Structure 1
Amino acid sequence: MSGPESSAPHQIFDSRALAARRRRALALGPETFLIDRVAEDLADRLGAVSRQFAVAADLGTPTAALARALAAIPSIGRLFTFGPPERVDNDAAADPELPPFGPASLDLVVSALALQTVNDLPGALAQIRRALRPDGLLLACLFGAGTLAELREAFAIAESDTTGGISPRVAPFADLRDLGGLVQRAGLALPVTDVDRVVVRYDHPLALMADLRRMGAANPLNARRRAPLRRATLARLFEVYAERFADPDGRLRATFEIAWISGWGPHDSQQKPLRPGSAKLRLADALKAAEHKLPGEGS
């Protein structure tokens, strides 16, 4: 048997549904305010790095926004784009699950709002690490765990109240602390993570849902319920959202958590932590403070 219903348990995201949602977004007219924002932010972050990147790759970014933003950075030599098939400016179509890079072939890998739907993110990061030359850089952003927390909560309450149970309506995304561990586990040096929370306000939940469709970000989960949403559930969703997440002016909040990750291909020139017990100076001496021993400690 084939199809989403027979996918292996570890396949959280339905790749065919993701592609279909991207095609629908193009047909509807894509909503790009988030990808445009993070593309400019990534370019700003990269512009602050004082080194040259002769060969770079943009992996999975769904639009040309990042390539346009990076075009103005003189430290980047040749930028190759590897995005979904729907992206017309690709150098080659590629799936972030299987980065098409040779070993030690790149000085820089960037990605914007693509890696959050990779089923094997540890594996993808390990392959990126393999593709980076020594002292090469990975800089990427993806949706973090707090993304659409309001919609997730409203859906859970609405379904529980109207059907007696809940189904996965909003995709789960990785926690920032987990992402830091994955970067380190992949073998990247000097891992750094941080988060940017973008709060967008809407007049109605339907306006948020329309934006999600035009971003290609509607529910891509393999475990999603295929039956149409009940009218009673949708009506209850509207009520809960207005009750819990409205500002004083009546507009509704929607949070997008942008998780940033970076790491370097290991190189001898990079700072390394000291081995335990190798310090040459005691903390008390460095602080010029008197040292007091606890009762029972040796001299």
Structure 2
Amino acid sequence: MASPPPRIFSGARRRARRRRALALQHSVAEPARFVLDDMIEDVGERLAFLRHEPNRSMVVGDWSGQLAAGLPGEVLERDIAGPDALDFEHPWPVGDFDCVVVLGLLDTVNDLPGALIHIRESLAPDGLAIACFPGSGSLPALRHAMLAAEPDRPAARLHPMVDSRAGAQLLQRAGWRDPVVDSHDLTVRYSSLDRLIGDLREQGLGNVLADPAPPLGEAAMQRARAAFTDLADPQGRVSETFSILTLSGRRAKPRF
């Protein structure tokens, strides 16, 4: 019997983070959603390039409804929070979707190969899956600030991330046909560390580690703010990077 994957992330914290982000999206005057918007645009361009016009799709993780509105045919929208929540630790709806798109959720899954298998199994033969999420190289300015906050014994405050090479290996392991892995950088400029943290919370991008570190004290937070400000350009802005990793592939047709 295979041993279970290590428990790096907390499913309960992941769902709570998602619910908080959804609440902020409705309560904040102009909530941040640029990571989601970037992923939606990228997926739309990929589908147009491939001339893939599905009859039945499933979209997971798009709280805006924008992607589903632009897809032809029947579209089932699901999320990881709410009454129709999907659980990455258990099997998904099986077998007849021409297209499955997962936005911004796979970066905090303990069993990522298993989740990719669930996605593959939800596809019809020759169906297309696309998954986008923040990958390795994201948030270097924030990482710098967190290390400066605790110079002697830094705690784990940002979770590990998947890079392109690991993504390709995961797709092969999960049995996706025609696997493609690529990434692009989204750069956003900030005047303060607090604004960056606010944007992360509004988009559900905070950490969901199973063993979270205790909150930073005021002195540590001041060191983090100072280290972040030290990275500012002459206009007083710090450029932060979100590296969006995209995994795509198909379910193989049966051989007769």
TM-score by length of 2: 0.88
Aligned ranges for residues 172-187 of structure 1 at < 5 Å? Answer: 172-187=160-175
Matched residue, 1:142: 133
Q: Distance in 2 between matches of 1:195 and 1:156?
A: 26
Matched, 1:100 2:86: no
Matched residue, 1:275: none
Matched residue, 2:229: 242
Matched, 1:230 2:221: no
Q: Distance in 2 between matches of 1:268 and 1:24?
A: 42
Matched residue, 2:242: 256
Q: What is the CA distance between 1:71 and its match in structure 2? A: 2.6
Identity of aligned residues (%): 37
- Report SS of the residue matched to 2:241: strand
- Report SS of the residue matched to 2:73: strand
Greater gyration radius: 1
Matched residue, 1:273: none
Q: Distance in 2 between matches of 1:177 and 1:140?
A: 15
Q: Which amino acid aligns with 2:7?
A: Q
Gap runs ≥5 in structure 2: none
Gap runs ≥5 in structure 1: 1-7, 270-299
Pick closer, same or farther for the CA change 1:240–1:51 going to 2, 3 Å. closer
Q: Distance in 1 between matches of 2:179 and 2:23?
A: 39
Matched residue, 2:180: 192
Aligned residues: 247
RCO higher in structure (CA 8 A, sep ≥6): 2
Q: What is the CA distance between 1:159 and its match in structure 2? A: 0.5
Matched residue, 2:104: 113
Q: What is the CA distance between 1:222 and its match in structure 2? A: 1.3
Contact kept? 2:102, 2:130, Cα under 8 Å: yes
Contact kept? 2:176, 2:252, Cα under 8 Å: yes
Contact kept? 2:189, 2:240, Cα under 8 Å: yes
Contact kept? 1:82, 1:94, Cα under 8 Å: yes
Out of 15, 20, 25, the position equivalent to 2:21 is 25
Matched residue, 2:192: 204
Aligned ranges for residues 1-299 of structure 1 at < 5 Å? Answer: 10-28=6-24, 29=28, 30-59=31-60, 61-65=61-65, 68-73=66-71, 76-86=72-82, 92-102=84-94, 104-160=95-151, 164-225=152-213, 227-243=214-230, 245-267=231-253
Q: Distance in 1 between matches of 2:178 and 2:149?
A: 44
Q: Which amino acid aligns with 1:143?
A: P
Q: What is the CA distance between 1:153 and its match in structure 2? A: 2.3
- Stretch of structure 1 that moved more, 210-219 or 9-18: 9-18
TM-score by length of 1: 0.76
Q: Which amino acid aligns with 1:223?
A: D
Q: Distance in 1 between matches of 2:128 and 2:169?
A: 17
